[in-house]
Amino acid sequence: MQDYLIVGGGILGSTLAYKMLERGLSVKIIDRPSSNISSSVAAGIVNPVTGKRFVLSWMAEELFSALHEFYPRMETRFNTSFFYPYDTLKLFETTFDQNEWLKKNKQESYQKYIGQEVVFSEKLINPLGALKIKGSGRLDIGNYLTVLHQYFEQMECIRYNWFDHGKLKVTNDTIYYDDIRAGALIYADGAQASDNPFFNNLPYNMVHGELLKVKIHDFYTDRIINKGIFIVPVSGEEYLVGSTYNWDLKEAVTTGEGREKLTGKLKEVVKCDFEVCGHYAGIRPSTKDRRPFMGRHSEHKNVISFGGTGSKGVSMAPFMSDLLINYLHNKGELPPEADICRVKNNVNLKDK
Protein backbone atom coordinates (compact mmCIF):
# COMPACT_ATOMS: atom_id res chain seq x y z
CA MET A 1 0.00 0.00 0.00
CA GLN A 2 1.26 3.44 -0.96
CA ASP A 3 1.20 6.45 1.33
CA TYR A 4 0.00 8.72 -1.48
CA LEU A 5 -1.47 8.49 -4.96
CA ILE A 6 -0.67 11.69 -6.88
CA VAL A 7 -2.65 12.66 -9.97
CA GLY A 8 -0.48 14.82 -12.20
CA GLY A 9 3.23 14.80 -12.98
CA GLY A 10 3.75 18.46 -13.82
CA ILE A 11 5.82 20.95 -11.85
CA LEU A 12 3.73 20.63 -8.68
CA GLY A 13 3.05 16.90 -8.72
CA SER A 14 6.62 15.93 -9.59
CA THR A 15 8.24 18.26 -7.06
CA LEU A 16 5.85 17.08 -4.35
CA ALA A 17 6.47 13.42 -5.20
CA TYR A 18 10.23 13.84 -5.08
CA LYS A 19 10.11 15.59 -1.73
CA MET A 20 7.86 12.86 -0.36
CA LEU A 21 10.30 10.19 -1.52
CA GLU A 22 13.11 12.16 0.13
CA ARG A 23 11.21 11.90 3.40
CA GLY A 24 10.81 8.15 3.09
CA LEU A 25 7.17 8.21 2.00
CA SER A 26 5.86 5.94 -0.75
CA VAL A 27 4.04 7.43 -3.75
CA LYS A 28 2.46 6.40 -7.01
CA ILE A 29 2.01 9.04 -9.73
CA ILE A 30 -0.53 8.92 -12.53
CA ASP A 31 0.45 11.33 -15.30
CA ARG A 32 -1.31 11.81 -18.59
CA PRO A 33 0.61 10.72 -21.71
CA SER A 34 0.63 14.16 -23.32
CA SER A 35 3.32 16.80 -23.78
CA ASN A 36 0.81 19.59 -24.27
CA ILE A 37 0.43 20.56 -20.62
CA SER A 38 0.98 23.94 -19.04
CA SER A 39 4.22 22.89 -17.30
CA SER A 40 5.89 21.62 -20.45
CA VAL A 41 5.15 24.74 -22.53
CA ALA A 42 5.77 27.32 -19.80
CA ALA A 43 8.77 29.66 -19.85
CA GLY A 44 9.68 28.69 -16.29
CA ILE A 45 10.47 32.23 -15.13
CA VAL A 46 10.77 33.10 -11.45
CA ASN A 47 10.56 36.78 -10.54
CA PRO A 48 10.23 38.21 -7.02
CA VAL A 49 8.99 41.63 -8.16
CA THR A 50 6.11 41.84 -10.63
CA GLY A 51 3.58 44.17 -12.21
CA LYS A 52 3.63 47.82 -13.19
CA ARG A 53 3.74 48.85 -9.55
CA PHE A 54 6.73 46.59 -8.82
CA VAL A 55 4.89 44.52 -6.23
CA LEU A 56 6.89 42.07 -4.13
CA SER A 57 5.50 38.60 -4.75
CA TRP A 58 3.37 36.95 -2.08
CA MET A 59 5.62 35.14 0.42
CA ALA A 60 8.64 36.17 -1.65
CA GLU A 61 11.21 35.60 1.11
CA GLU A 62 10.05 32.04 1.81
CA LEU A 63 9.42 31.05 -1.80
CA PHE A 64 12.65 32.41 -3.26
CA SER A 65 14.87 31.17 -0.46
CA ALA A 66 13.42 27.69 -1.01
CA LEU A 67 13.66 27.63 -4.80
CA HIS A 68 17.23 28.98 -4.88
CA GLU A 69 18.22 26.16 -2.52
CA PHE A 70 16.17 23.36 -4.09
CA TYR A 71 16.75 23.63 -7.85
CA PRO A 72 20.58 23.92 -7.66
CA ARG A 73 20.59 21.01 -5.21
CA MET A 74 18.59 18.97 -7.70
CA GLU A 75 21.08 19.83 -10.44
CA THR A 76 23.88 18.48 -8.25
CA ARG A 77 21.83 15.42 -7.32
CA PHE A 78 21.22 14.46 -10.95
CA ASN A 79 24.42 15.89 -12.44
CA THR A 80 22.68 18.11 -14.98
CA SER A 81 21.65 21.72 -15.55
CA PHE A 82 18.13 23.12 -15.70
CA PHE A 83 18.08 26.19 -13.43
CA TYR A 84 19.54 29.47 -14.65
CA PRO A 85 19.65 32.47 -12.28
CA TYR A 86 19.33 35.70 -14.25
CA ASP A 87 18.77 39.31 -13.32
CA THR A 88 15.71 40.87 -14.96
CA LEU A 89 15.73 44.28 -16.61
CA LYS A 90 12.25 45.73 -16.10
CA LEU A 91 11.96 48.59 -18.59
CA PHE A 92 10.20 51.72 -17.39
CA GLU A 93 7.26 52.58 -19.60
CA THR A 94 6.37 55.93 -17.97
CA THR A 95 7.72 58.41 -15.45
CA PHE A 96 5.08 57.00 -13.09
CA ASP A 97 6.99 53.69 -13.23
CA GLN A 98 10.18 55.51 -12.27
CA ASN A 99 8.45 57.16 -9.33
CA GLU A 100 7.10 53.80 -8.13
CA TRP A 101 10.62 52.38 -8.27
CA LEU A 102 11.97 55.33 -6.27
CA LYS A 103 9.41 54.60 -3.56
CA LYS A 104 10.11 50.88 -3.45
CA ASN A 105 13.91 51.02 -3.43
CA LYS A 106 13.76 52.84 -0.09
CA GLN A 107 11.77 50.03 1.53
CA GLU A 108 13.80 47.44 3.45
CA SER A 109 11.78 44.48 2.15
CA TYR A 110 12.80 45.34 -1.43
CA GLN A 111 16.51 45.93 -0.84
CA LYS A 112 17.70 42.43 -1.75
CA TYR A 113 15.57 42.27 -4.89
CA ILE A 114 15.92 45.57 -6.74
CA GLY A 115 18.90 47.55 -7.97
CA GLN A 116 19.59 51.10 -6.86
CA GLU A 117 20.47 52.54 -10.26
CA VAL A 118 18.56 53.08 -13.50
CA VAL A 119 19.98 50.90 -16.27
CA PHE A 120 20.17 51.89 -19.94
CA SER A 121 20.99 49.70 -22.95
CA GLU A 122 21.92 50.29 -26.58
CA LYS A 123 20.20 47.05 -27.61
CA LEU A 124 16.81 48.00 -26.19
CA ILE A 125 14.24 50.68 -26.87
CA ASN A 126 14.22 52.05 -23.33
CA PRO A 127 14.50 55.87 -23.28
CA LEU A 128 13.43 55.93 -19.61
CA GLY A 129 15.85 53.22 -18.56
CA ALA A 130 15.19 50.05 -16.61
CA LEU A 131 15.09 48.63 -13.11
CA LYS A 132 17.34 45.65 -12.33
CA ILE A 133 15.50 42.90 -10.43
CA LYS A 134 17.69 40.42 -8.60
CA GLY A 135 16.80 36.88 -7.57
CA SER A 136 14.96 36.05 -10.79
CA GLY A 137 15.79 33.29 -13.24
CA ARG A 138 14.49 30.47 -15.41
CA LEU A 139 13.87 26.80 -14.86
CA ASP A 140 14.06 24.61 -17.97
CA ILE A 141 10.87 22.82 -17.00
CA GLY A 142 11.06 20.30 -19.81
CA ASN A 143 14.51 19.12 -18.76
CA TYR A 144 13.61 19.23 -15.05
CA LEU A 145 10.52 17.07 -15.55
CA THR A 146 12.36 14.68 -17.87
CA VAL A 147 15.03 14.11 -15.21
CA LEU A 148 12.45 13.58 -12.46
CA HIS A 149 10.28 11.28 -14.55
CA GLN A 150 13.29 9.14 -15.43
CA TYR A 151 13.99 8.87 -11.71
CA PHE A 152 10.36 7.97 -10.99
CA GLU A 153 10.50 5.32 -13.69
CA GLN A 154 13.60 3.81 -12.07
CA MET A 155 11.72 3.83 -8.77
CA GLU A 156 8.70 2.27 -10.52
CA CYS A 157 6.40 4.88 -9.04
CA ILE A 158 4.91 6.56 -12.13
CA ARG A 159 2.36 5.42 -14.72
CA TYR A 160 1.37 7.27 -17.89
CA ASN A 161 -2.38 7.10 -18.32
CA TRP A 162 -5.35 9.41 -18.29
CA PHE A 163 -6.83 9.27 -14.81
CA ASP A 164 -10.24 7.59 -14.91
CA HIS A 165 -12.50 8.61 -12.05
CA GLY A 166 -14.75 5.67 -12.89
CA LYS A 167 -12.05 3.38 -11.52
CA LEU A 168 -11.65 5.34 -8.30
CA LYS A 169 -13.08 4.33 -4.94
CA VAL A 170 -12.58 6.46 -1.84
CA THR A 171 -13.18 5.18 1.69
CA ASN A 172 -12.35 6.83 4.99
CA ASP A 173 -8.89 5.30 5.19
CA THR A 174 -8.03 3.92 1.75
CA ILE A 175 -7.90 5.06 -1.88
CA TYR A 176 -8.57 2.33 -4.46
CA TYR A 177 -7.55 2.84 -8.09
CA ASP A 178 -6.94 -0.11 -10.42
CA ASP A 179 -4.47 -2.25 -8.48
CA ILE A 180 -3.21 0.71 -6.43
CA ARG A 181 -4.01 1.12 -2.76
CA ALA A 182 -3.04 4.36 -1.04
CA GLY A 183 -3.70 6.17 2.19
CA ALA A 184 -4.52 9.47 0.48
CA LEU A 185 -5.12 10.95 -2.96
CA ILE A 186 -3.54 14.25 -4.03
CA TYR A 187 -4.74 16.10 -7.10
CA ALA A 188 -1.99 18.12 -8.78
CA ASP A 189 -3.80 17.92 -12.09
CA GLY A 190 -3.16 21.38 -13.48
CA ALA A 191 -5.61 22.58 -16.12
CA GLN A 192 -7.77 19.48 -15.60
CA ALA A 193 -8.60 20.60 -12.06
CA SER A 194 -11.82 22.37 -13.00
CA ASP A 195 -13.22 19.02 -14.23
CA ASN A 196 -12.29 17.23 -11.02
CA PRO A 197 -15.47 15.87 -9.33
CA PHE A 198 -14.03 16.47 -5.85
CA PHE A 199 -12.90 20.04 -6.36
CA ASN A 200 -15.03 21.39 -9.22
CA ASN A 201 -16.57 23.85 -6.76
CA LEU A 202 -13.29 25.73 -6.56
CA PRO A 203 -13.40 28.87 -8.71
CA TYR A 204 -10.46 28.18 -11.00
CA ASN A 205 -9.67 30.82 -13.58
CA MET A 206 -8.06 28.97 -16.47
CA VAL A 207 -5.93 31.21 -18.67
CA HIS A 208 -4.82 30.46 -22.24
CA GLY A 209 -1.29 31.66 -22.96
CA GLU A 210 1.04 31.66 -25.94
CA LEU A 211 4.83 31.77 -26.29
CA LEU A 212 7.18 32.30 -29.19
CA LYS A 213 10.68 30.96 -29.65
CA VAL A 214 12.78 33.46 -31.59
CA LYS A 215 16.34 33.86 -32.80
CA ILE A 216 18.02 37.18 -32.04
CA HIS A 217 21.60 37.82 -33.11
CA ASP A 218 24.03 39.56 -30.73
CA PHE A 219 21.56 39.93 -27.87
CA TYR A 220 21.75 39.40 -24.09
CA THR A 221 22.35 35.85 -22.93
CA ASP A 222 22.70 36.68 -19.24
CA ARG A 223 19.46 38.47 -18.33
CA ILE A 224 15.70 38.52 -18.78
CA ILE A 225 14.06 41.53 -20.42
CA ASN A 226 10.58 42.62 -19.38
CA LYS A 227 8.34 45.31 -20.82
CA GLY A 228 4.78 44.09 -21.34
CA ILE A 229 6.39 40.85 -22.54
CA PHE A 230 9.38 38.86 -21.32
CA ILE A 231 12.41 37.85 -23.37
CA VAL A 232 14.35 35.04 -21.72
CA PRO A 233 17.50 33.29 -23.02
CA VAL A 234 17.17 29.61 -23.87
CA SER A 235 20.33 28.61 -25.73
CA GLY A 236 22.70 30.34 -28.11
CA GLU A 237 20.70 32.90 -30.06
CA GLU A 238 17.33 31.40 -29.09
CA TYR A 239 14.91 33.12 -26.71
CA LEU A 240 11.39 32.59 -25.42
CA VAL A 241 9.02 35.54 -25.77
CA GLY A 242 5.71 35.73 -23.94
CA SER A 243 3.13 35.75 -22.88
CA THR A 244 -0.45 36.32 -23.90
CA TYR A 245 -3.48 36.07 -21.62
CA ASN A 246 -6.84 34.89 -22.93
CA TRP A 247 -9.69 33.83 -20.63
CA ASP A 248 -12.02 32.75 -23.45
CA LEU A 249 -9.94 30.13 -25.26
CA LYS A 250 -10.26 26.75 -23.55
CA GLU A 251 -7.99 24.68 -25.79
CA ALA A 252 -4.19 24.83 -25.91
CA VAL A 253 -4.02 26.02 -29.53
CA THR A 254 -1.78 28.64 -31.09
CA THR A 255 -3.40 31.62 -32.81
CA GLY A 256 -2.42 34.15 -35.43
CA GLU A 257 -3.62 36.88 -33.10
CA GLY A 258 -1.29 35.67 -30.36
CA ARG A 259 1.70 35.53 -32.69
CA GLU A 260 0.98 39.01 -34.05
CA LYS A 261 0.60 40.45 -30.54
CA LEU A 262 3.89 39.02 -29.32
CA THR A 263 5.90 39.97 -32.41
CA GLY A 264 4.43 43.47 -32.29
CA LYS A 265 5.46 43.96 -28.67
CA LEU A 266 8.89 42.48 -29.35
CA LYS A 267 9.49 45.09 -32.07
CA GLU A 268 8.73 47.78 -29.48
CA VAL A 269 11.44 46.47 -27.15
CA VAL A 270 14.44 45.28 -29.19
CA LYS A 271 16.33 47.28 -31.80
CA CYS A 272 17.64 44.28 -33.71
CA ASP A 273 15.92 41.93 -36.15
CA PHE A 274 14.55 38.58 -35.02
CA GLU A 275 13.24 35.36 -36.55
CA VAL A 276 10.33 33.35 -35.17
CA CYS A 277 11.22 29.65 -35.01
CA GLY A 278 8.55 28.24 -32.69
CA HIS A 279 5.04 28.94 -31.40
CA TYR A 280 3.49 27.25 -28.35
CA ALA A 281 0.30 27.43 -26.29
CA GLY A 282 -0.90 26.12 -22.95
CA ILE A 283 -3.62 26.51 -20.34
CA ARG A 284 -2.56 27.92 -16.97
CA PRO A 285 -4.46 26.63 -13.92
CA SER A 286 -4.94 30.03 -12.30
CA THR A 287 -7.22 31.43 -9.60
CA LYS A 288 -9.05 34.72 -9.24
CA ASP A 289 -7.02 35.80 -6.22
CA ARG A 290 -3.73 34.43 -7.61
CA ARG A 291 -3.25 32.11 -4.66
CA PRO A 292 -3.03 28.31 -4.83
CA PHE A 293 -5.80 25.92 -3.86
CA MET A 294 -4.39 23.61 -1.18
CA GLY A 295 -5.99 21.45 1.48
CA ARG A 296 -8.29 18.56 2.28
CA HIS A 297 -11.71 17.92 0.80
CA SER A 298 -14.48 19.00 3.17
CA GLU A 299 -15.95 15.47 3.40
CA HIS A 300 -13.22 13.13 2.17
CA LYS A 301 -10.26 14.10 4.34
CA ASN A 302 -7.89 11.81 2.48
CA VAL A 303 -8.53 13.62 -0.82
CA ILE A 304 -6.30 16.69 -1.17
CA SER A 305 -6.00 19.59 -3.60
CA PHE A 306 -2.64 20.99 -4.73
CA GLY A 307 -3.02 23.41 -7.63
CA GLY A 308 -3.99 26.83 -8.88
CA THR A 309 -0.48 28.28 -9.04
CA GLY A 310 -0.93 29.64 -12.58
CA SER A 311 2.34 31.08 -13.92
CA LYS A 312 3.91 30.87 -10.44
CA GLY A 313 4.27 27.08 -10.34
CA VAL A 314 8.07 27.10 -10.56
CA SER A 315 8.31 29.68 -7.77
CA MET A 316 5.84 27.95 -5.48
CA ALA A 317 6.55 24.25 -6.02
CA PRO A 318 9.52 23.72 -3.65
CA PHE A 319 8.25 25.66 -0.63
CA MET A 320 4.56 24.79 -1.01
CA SER A 321 5.38 21.09 -1.38
CA ASP A 322 7.13 21.15 1.98
CA LEU A 323 4.24 23.06 3.54
CA LEU A 324 1.73 20.54 2.20
CA ILE A 325 3.69 17.53 3.45
CA ASN A 326 4.01 19.09 6.90
CA TYR A 327 0.31 19.90 6.91
CA LEU A 328 -0.66 16.35 5.96
CA HIS A 329 1.46 14.99 8.81
CA ASN A 330 0.15 17.48 11.38
CA LYS A 331 3.42 19.40 11.56
CA GLY A 332 2.14 22.75 10.38
CA GLU A 333 -0.74 24.73 8.92
CA LEU A 334 -1.35 26.03 5.43
CA PRO A 335 -1.31 29.79 4.82
CA PRO A 336 -4.91 31.03 5.08
CA GLU A 337 -4.54 32.67 1.66
CA ALA A 338 -3.80 29.27 0.09
CA ASP A 339 -6.12 27.02 2.09
CA ILE A 340 -9.25 25.94 0.19
CA CYS A 341 -11.16 26.70 3.37
CA ARG A 342 -11.26 30.29 2.13
CA VAL A 343 -13.78 29.14 -0.48
CA LYS A 344 -15.91 27.25 2.03
CA ASN A 345 -15.89 30.33 4.23
CA ASN A 346 -17.93 32.22 1.63
CA VAL A 347 -15.03 34.10 0.11
CA ASN A 348 -16.48 34.65 -3.34
CA LEU A 349 -13.36 34.63 -5.44
CA LYS A 350 -15.36 34.86 -8.64
CA ASP A 351 -16.17 38.45 -7.79
CA LYS A 352 -12.61 39.51 -7.06
CATH 3.50.50.60 placement within the chain = 2-42+142-203+288-351
Query: Above 90 in pLDDT, residue 192?
Result: no
The class of domain 2-42+142-203+288-351 in CATH terms is: alpha beta
The whole-number average pLDDT for the span 272-298 is: 93
Residues of the chain with pLDDT > 90, as a percent, come to 79
Contact predicate 274/320, CB 8 Å: no
- What is the overall mean pLDDT for the chain? 92
Tens digit of pLDDT for each residue in 241-270?
998 999 899 888 999 999 999 999 999 999
Q: Per-residue pLDDT for 174 more than 60? A: yes
Q: What is the 3-state secondary structure (H, E, C) of the chain?
A: CEEEEEECCCHHHHHHHHHHHHCCCCEEEEECCCCCCCCCCCCCEECCEECCCCEECCCHHHHHHHHHHHHHHHHHHHCCCCEEECEEEEECCCHHHHHHHHHHCCCHHHCCCECCCCECCCCECCCCCEEEECCCEEECHHHHHHHHHHHHHHCCCEEECCCCHHHEEECCCCEEECCEEEEEEEECCHHHHHHCCCCCCCCECCEEEEEEEEEECCCCCCEEEECCCEEEEEECCEEEEECCCECCCCCCCCCHHHHHHHHHHHHCCECCCEEEEEEEEEEECCECCCCCEEEECCCCCCEEEEECCHHHHHHHHHHHHHHHHHHHCCCCCCCCCCECHHHHCCCCHHHC
Inform me whether the pLDDT recorded for 203 exceeds 50: yes
Confidence of residue 195 (pLDDT cuts 50, 70, 90): confident
| Start-end of CATH 3.30.9.10 domains in the chain | 207-284
Does the pLDDT of residue 350 top 80, yes or no? no
Provide the whole-model pTM.
Answer: 0.93
Give the mean pLDDT of 152-172: 96
Name the CATH topology of 207-284: D-Amino Acid Oxidase; Chain A, domain 2 (3.30.9)
User: What are the residues whose beta carbons fall under 8 Å from the beta carbon of 78, sequence distance 6 or more?
Assistant: 147, 151
Question: What pLDDT does residue 306 have?
Answer: 97
| Section 334-345 average pLDDT | 88
Average pLDDT for 143-156: 97
pLDDT single digits (tens) 31-51: 988 654 555 568 999 999 987
Q: What is the pLDDT of residues 107-149, one digit of tens each?
A: 888 989 998 889 999 999 999 999 999 999 999 999 999 999 9
Per-residue pLDDT, averaged over 289-317, amounts to 95
pLDDT digits 0-9 by tens, 9-29: 999 999 999 999 999 999 999
